[in-house]
């Protein structure tokens, strides 16, 4: 990765922007000064024209023989500029041609007055070319004396008045630029000090330190970065806690079935009774099955905890309910439990069919496991507004009110529970429900007894006719129905 200095880049671009703004300011000042010089020279021509128009005849004759020098700058000793490079120091003769009321012409022009007479006849100063030489000319008619005056001078094409104005603006800026660069370098460096402090704080930590960064007096921009780092540290801390808890729980829960498997294997090896050997091996198989199921559940929880992306699609829960009922029908029958599926919902949900199947598997398995012999278990779905409510109800002994809050804790099996199990089923159910933006709650089961588990998922389409048990049926359950 190529490292870039924020301080260097920021200083460079700030100086670049300042220089560009200064350049535009100097250019605008030069253009404005040039226009002002031109207007000033034109105003001088107008003044000369009005002045000559009001002279008497003797003065006019004298000016005709002695040209008016309107030199802009005087030559002083020590001046470095020569007239060749600066026309402001050249002699600037004001030429004129005066025509009086009797059409007599008095002129000090170097060329015939008729050359200019036919070229200008307007109210403002303008530029004319005579033999390739530009002249600035103004024509004035005095209504009182009837005189017509044309005043002209060679155009000052190399005037340095505007240039001098621009230079006087540029020089202080150029001298200030290095000082500005030094100040910018210092100020930006001071402003970036919190980043150095943050970097030093992070470098001082080891791989086991995941506590939030605590840096006092940081600017808002760096505070945002510190907040993002603290959130990342918090996520890492939670991930490590989950990983440690997973490892500890897995070791603890696998220890019991593995110990049981070892004991039964030892019994099978030491006994000579074929019936006892067979019983021990059956229990070994049961212990392996329990360990395998526990490992699958732990892996599923780890997968859900890590927020792994699981694709979802629109699915109909009726088929999944039918499959769950069919898978547990024999086990329910062995215990004398009447297991029924009653899917009345006309909505579909957005979820993964495999995970919803696991959810139903755990809920139905728990209901049969903790239900009374010769009891009932029902799996029901109904529509409640824009949600589909799935309920698994039994009429068993139920759960103590003090245990309900901990039913979704991992490896928690409640007080006085004798049935075998890992205590992960409802934890998996709760995680699947949250993964698909659903809600989970616990209540009373059938006939005011047992446990009811209620899951609500957002519906993704409106009511429609769906197939139940192979036949097209329309539910009679009203949309406002609720499950208690």
Q: Which of 126, 142, 164 finishes a domain?
A: 164
Q: Which of 146, 164, 182 finishes a domain?
A: 164
Can you give the pLDDT at residue 161?
A: 66
**Residue 203 forms part of a structural domain:** no
Structure tokens at 398: 């139920």
Pair 282, 338 in one domain: no
Can you give the pLDDT at residue 467?
A: 40
Over residues 225-270, the pLDDT tens digits come to: 888 888 888 888 887 887 777 677 667 666 767 777 888 888 888 8
Pair 327, 444 in one domain: yes
Can you give the pLDDT at residue 72?
A: 59
Can you give the pLDDT at residue 253?
A: 62
**Residue 439 forms part of a structural domain:** yes
Q: Which runs of E-coded beta strand occur in 39-170?
A: 68-69, 93-99, 105-107, 126-130, 133-141, 148-154
CATH number at residue 142: 3.30.450
Ranges in the chain, pLDDT < 50: 1, 81-85, 462-482
Pair 138, 267 in one domain: no
Pair 337, 277 in one domain: no
Q: 3, 17, 9: which is closest to 185 by C-alpha?
A: 9
| Burial label, 381 (beta-carbon count in 10 A; 0-12, 13-18, 19+) | buried
**Residue 296 forms part of a structural domain:** yes
Pair 159, 265 in one domain: no
CATH number at residue 451: 3.30.565.10
**Residue 462 forms part of a structural domain:** yes
**Residue 52 forms part of a structural domain:** yes
Pair 355, 286 in one domain: no
Pair 290, 144 in one domain: no
Q: 211, 398, 193, 431: which is closest to 299 by C-alpha?
A: 431
Q: Which of 118, 137, 164 finishes a domain?
A: 164
**Residue 200 forms part of a structural domain:** no
Structural domain of 325: 313-473
CATH number at residue 260: 1.10.287
Pair 276, 322 in one domain: no
Pair 274, 301 in one domain: yes
Can you give the pLDDT at residue 79?
A: 52
Pair 122, 256 in one domain: no
Can you give the pLDDT at residue 389?
A: 92
Q: How many angstroms separate the CA atoms of 381 and 396, rounded?
A: 20
Q: 122, 121, 123, 130: which is closest to 95 by C-alpha?
A: 130
**Residue 280 forms part of a structural domain:** yes
Q: 187, 329, 304, 192: which is closest to 246 by C-alpha?
A: 304
**Residue 159 forms part of a structural domain:** yes
Over residues 74-104, the pLDDT tens digits come to: 555 555 544 444 555 556 778 888 888 887 8
User: For the chain, how many structural domains are there in total?
Assistant: 3
Pair 317, 301 in one domain: no
Pair 397, 343 in one domain: yes
CA-based R_g, the chain, Å: 51
Residue 276 has φ and ψ, to the nearest 5°, of -70, -40
């Amino acid at each position: 990765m190529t490292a870039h200095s924020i301080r260097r880049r920021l200083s460079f671009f700030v100086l670049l922007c300042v220089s560009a703004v200064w350049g535009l300011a100097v250019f605008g000042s030069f253009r404005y000064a040039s226009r002002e010089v031109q207007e000033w020279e034109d105003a001088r021509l107008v003044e000369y024209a009005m002045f000559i128009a009001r002279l008497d005849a003797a003065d006019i004759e004298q000016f005709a023989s002695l040209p008016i020098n309107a030199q802009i700058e005087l030559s002083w000793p020590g001046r470095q500029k020569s007239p060749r490079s600066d026309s402001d120091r050249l002699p600037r003769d004001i030429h004129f041609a005066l025509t009086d009321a009797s059409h007599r012409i008095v002129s000090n022009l170097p060329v015939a007055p008729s050359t200019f007479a036919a070229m200008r006849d307007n109210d403002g100063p303008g530029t004319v070319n005579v033999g390739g030489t530009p002249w600035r000319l103004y024509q004035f008619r005095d209504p009182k004396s009837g005189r017509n005056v044309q005043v002209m001078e060679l155009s000052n094409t190399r005037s340095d008045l505007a240039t001098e104005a621009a230079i006087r603006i540029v020089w202080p800026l150029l001298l200030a630029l290095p000082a500005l660069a030094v100040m910018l370098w210092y100020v930006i460096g001071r402003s970036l000090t919190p980043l150095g402090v943050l970097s030093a704080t992070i470098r001082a930590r080891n791989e086991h330190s995941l506590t939030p960064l605590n840096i006092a007096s940081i600017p808002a921009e760096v505070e945002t970065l510190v907040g993002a780092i603290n959130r990342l540290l918090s996520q890492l801390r939670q991930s490590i806690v989950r990983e440690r808890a997973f490892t500890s729980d897995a070791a603890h829960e696998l220890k019991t079935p593995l110990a049981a498997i070892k004991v039964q294997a030892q019994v099978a090896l030491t006994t000579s009774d074929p019936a006892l050997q067979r019983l021990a091996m059956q229990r070994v198989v049961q212990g392996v099955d329990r360990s395998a199921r526990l490992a699958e559940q732990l892996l599923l929880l780890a997968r859900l905890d890590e927020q792994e992306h699981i694709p979802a699609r629109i699915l109909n829960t009726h088929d999944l309910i039918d499959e769950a009922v069919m898978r547990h029908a024999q086990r329910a029958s062995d215990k004398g439990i009447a297991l029924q599926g009653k899917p009345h919902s006309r909505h579909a949900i957005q979820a993964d069919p495999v995970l919803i199947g696991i959810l139903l598997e755990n809920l139905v398995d728990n209901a049969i496991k903790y239900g009374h012999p010769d009891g009932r278990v029902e799996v029901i779905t109904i529509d409640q507004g824009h949600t589909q409510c799935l309920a698994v109800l039994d009429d068993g002994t139920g759960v103590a009110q003090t245990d309900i809050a901990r039913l979704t804790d991992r490896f928690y099996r409640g007080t006085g529970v004798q049935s075998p199990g890992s205590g992960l089923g409802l934890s998996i159910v709760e995680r699947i429900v949250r993964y698909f933006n659903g809600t989970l709650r616990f209540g009373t089961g059938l006939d005011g007894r047992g446990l009811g588990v209620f899951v609500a998922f957002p519906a993704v389409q409106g009511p429609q006719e769906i197939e139940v048990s192979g036949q097209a049926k329309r539910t009679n359950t009203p949309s406002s129905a609720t499950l208690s």
